[in-house]
Amino acid sequence: MSRINFLKESIKNLKTLGTITPSSRFLAGRMLKNIDFSKVDVLVELGPGNGAITKHILKKLPAKATLICFEINDNFYNQLLQINNSQLVVVKSSAEKIEEELKKLNFTKTDHIISSLPLTIIPDEISNQILKKSFQVLENNGNFIQFQYSLTYFKKLKEVFNQSISLEFEPLNIPPAFVYHCKKVE
């Protein structure tokens, strides 16, 4: 999808997409840098959009690992289906249904969750469910990695991940983004 088409899709669906440009390779690199891909069996991506970060994940994924992407936008879902990779499973479902969708695919846990969801514009009830269920399906010491364009979600992520959170800033993205690295420690 070209940047122009992405922009058109974003304008039509700004309330669910939360951005007007695809994520940069710099943002993808910052989000994925702390993952030891040699130990990944199952990785989940929430809100992959047109697959900008998805493609970076697939390049790093070990041969027997699976990437499960949750996308609700019809156009982006169809684009993701065009990525020719047997390790990729694209689910047209809301991220709040992560637990039940993983069970349908015969998985109970995931090693890491990469999220590009615009949590600040998703209703609180739904975003709380997404975070709660994401925490539940993460393996112990698994990472929930989220980017946002502001710091407004820092407190909520700290509540869910019990202070096991670090924050980075990626200036080479349009717009610049904050990356939250949250670790599940029980």
pLDDT digits (tens, 9 = 90+) for 64-123: 999 999 999 999 999 999 999 999 999 999 999 999 999 999 999 999 999 999 998 899
| Residue 172 tokens, joined | 């080479």
Q: What is the mean pLDDT of residues 33-50?
A: 96
- 99 φ/ψ angles, rounded to the nearest 5 degrees: -65, -50
Interatomic CA distance for residues 111 and 141, integer angstroms: 8
User: Model's pTM, two decimal places?
Assistant: 0.89
| Residue 75 tokens, joined | 């156009």
* Residues present in the chain in total: 186
Higher pLDDT, 3 or 29: 29
Superfamily of domain 3-183: Vaccinia Virus protein VP39 (3.40.50.150)
- Is the pLDDT at 186 greater than 90? The verdict is no
Dihedral of the CA atoms 140, 144, 145, 149 (nearest 10)? -150
